[in-house]
Structure 1
Amino acid sequence: MSEVEGHILSGDWPPGYRIPFEHELTEQYGCSRMTVNKALSELVKRGLIERRRKSGSYVSFPQVQSAVMEIHDVKREVQSLGLDYAYRLGERAVRKMRAGDEGRIDLPLSSRLLDVTCRHFAGGRVFCLEERLINLSAVPEAETETFETAAPGSWLLGKVPWSTAEHRIRAVAASRPTAQALEVAVGAACLVIERRTWSGGVPVTSVLLTYPGDRHELIAEFAPSAPA
């Protein structure tokens, strides 16, 4: 059964590939059904495959690791996994600040915002939902940018030098709209990264990145502080 692992690790069987059924592997390798089941269970434990009820076993999509203290380009995250990246714009609207926005971006209620919702895909599956507010007084050129082909995060990284960033991380249960956007079950565990950036003390953008919880984790590297 090491050949099955070899097919996965070599990329011959890419993420999402359906592995032959147990009876097919039994015939192919001339071993017992129990041996096949045990081998597949071990691959599940190692995160290489996932079993779907009434459907079979599939090569798992790699779990994403993000460093907490970095500003990420979602497209690069996906490409670093060796998966095809796709982007799809959802809604885009120019509007004024409204009740509730002050919790996300610290601006007067008279301020004008660009409100953008979009989705990122990896290997044909929804990778994350992006909900972003952009301060148009800080980035006026964003008002005429359609974002139909370029994601706002990537665009901003190339346009506006940021001087300060804040990350907030929390776990949530997917609401119905979020579940539909991520193509997961209502109530499924999700990881939300809320990021705010400033340039010279002026708020630039606030973004909520919502990921399916079983496909994303955060990492942080640090060292002990120097003794006094």
Structure 2
Amino acid sequence: MSLTSERGKADAAGKPTLYKRIRLDIETRILTGEWPPGHRIPFEHQLMTRYRCSRMTVNKALSELAQADLIERRRRAGSFVRRPQHLSAVLKISDIRAEITALGRSYGYQLLHCRRRTATAADRARLGVTKAGKVVAIACRHSADNVPFAVEDRLIDLSTVPEAATADFAKEPPGSWLLHHVPWTEAEHTISAVVADDDTAKALDIAVGAPCLVIDRYTWRSARTLTAVRLHYPGDTHRLVARFTGG
């Protein structure tokens, strides 16, 4: 192998240079479905052995695949076929479990903690209430094909949803339970972007400082607060889509 091909120039016969052949080989495996979303790409040293080339050549091929959004490179973990972005509706309250199932993926749920307590000043401010009362504070994680999809931080006002005190949120996600048991009349979404702190990064299995999409949702029934929830999604795999009609 010549240094000319290692540096990315075409050979005398006009064939694709080595790093382009590596990129095309991996791209073909991805687009044909041979390597499905989430599949681990062989490590750089394995590709070096397979193609008998330098790390620089392999790295250039992988970098172009990442720039084309075909793979994602995770520090110390390797490279993986990128999963398609997930779509969420902005103008309705969706059930995350149903959303993941609709994508053809396996849903997973983990309750991180569930506490019944007297509302703190911060709880009352978040719920928009003035009187001290009882709340259920819940943190949980949703996953798709065993990959973290979203983490949820929720407060439920027990003065308006007393039945939540006895609900088993270890077995059923709070969002699903609320949609099936508690009617609501008004809701509000606030959408923002943040960088992951230590706890969020650990829960979502992403790097500290990585971008996150955040949805804050509030629901009411006849002007009485039902729940306030904050959802964190990995920013590079989730986007929001809303379609409107005129008139």
Same fold (TM over 0.5): yes
Structure 2: gaps of 5 or more residues: 1-22
Aligned-partner Cα distance in 2 for 1:61–1:169: 23
TM-score (norm: length of structure 1): 0.83
The answer as to 2:86 corresponding to 1:75 is no
Moved more, 43-52 or 62-71: 43-52
Which is greater in Rg?
A: 2
State the match for 2:13 in structure 1. Answer: none
TM-score (norm: length of structure 2): 0.77
Q: 3-state SS of the aligned residue for 2:105?
A: coil
Structure 1: gaps of 5 or more residues: none
Aligned residue pair count: 225
The answer as to 2:41 corresponding to 1:19 is yes
CA contact (8 A) 1:97 1:108 kept: no
Superposed displacement of residue 70, structure 1 = 1.5
CA contact (8 A) 1:62 1:81 kept: no
Residues 43-85 of structure 1, C-alpha deviations (whole Å, 9 max, x = no match): 4334221233565431112221212111111112222333221
Moved more, 143-152 or 180-189: 180-189
CA contact (8 A) 1:17 1:59 kept: yes
Greater relative contact order (CA < 8 Å, ≥ 6 in sequence) = 1
Taking only the aligned residue pairs, the percentage that are identical comes to 50
Superposed CA RMSD in Å reads 2.9
Aligned-partner Cα distance in 1 for 2:33–2:126: 41
State the match for 1:95 in structure 2. Answer: 117
Residues 192-222 of structure 1, C-alpha deviations (whole Å, 9 max, x = no match): 1000011222211110001111111112222
Which of 180, 184, 209 pairs up with 1:187?
209
Q: 3-state SS of the aligned residue for 1:76?
A: helix
| Cα distance change on mapping 1:47 and 1:101 into 2, 3 Å | same
| Cα distance change on mapping 1:107 and 1:16 into 2, 3 Å | same
Aligned-partner Cα distance in 2 for 1:113–1:207: 13
* Superposed structure 1 runs of 4+ greater than 6 Å apart: 22-29, 33-39
Aligned-partner Cα distance in 1 for 2:36–2:130: 49
State the match for 1:215 in structure 2. Answer: 237
